[in-house]
Amino acid sequence: MTENESETGRGHFRYGPWVWSAYRAYNELLREKIKKRFDAQEGPWMDQVAELLVQIVNARWEGGRKKEKEAEALFEKLQKLLEE
């Protein structure tokens, strides 16, 4: 096997796992950076949406007429947030 074959031929099997690990690490790093940007730009809004969703689930879980009206009001708040 020549030097050229080891780079382009069967030799690539030796490096394949390392290359894929590098691509995976690169993508993970990029994903983390994107998450940080979204958190910086949209974090406060997403916190409000998350809080309302938790309140909606809790209101529906507890049930009852009073909680149904409370859930409706929460859904209206959620709708307003989603329209922003």
pLDDT per residue as tens digits for the range 7-29: 555 556 678 888 899 999 999 99
Predicted confidence at residue 78, as pLDDT, reads 87
What is the mean pLDDT of the segment spanning 73-78?
A: 86
Hey, how many other C-beta atoms are within 10 angstroms of the C-beta on 39?
12
Q: What is the pTM of this model?
A: 0.55
Say if residues 46 and 78 touch (Cβ distance below 8 Å).
no
Of 1-15, 29-43, 52-66, 70-84, the one with minimum mean pLDDT is 1-15
pLDDT of residue 12: 61
- Residue 48 pLDDT > 80, yes or no? yes
Beta-strand (E) ranges in the chain?
A: none
- Domain residue ranges in the chain: 3-83
Q: Please, which residues have CB within 8 angstroms of residue 77's CB and are 6 or more apart in sequence?
A: 52
Average pLDDT over residues 53-82: 81
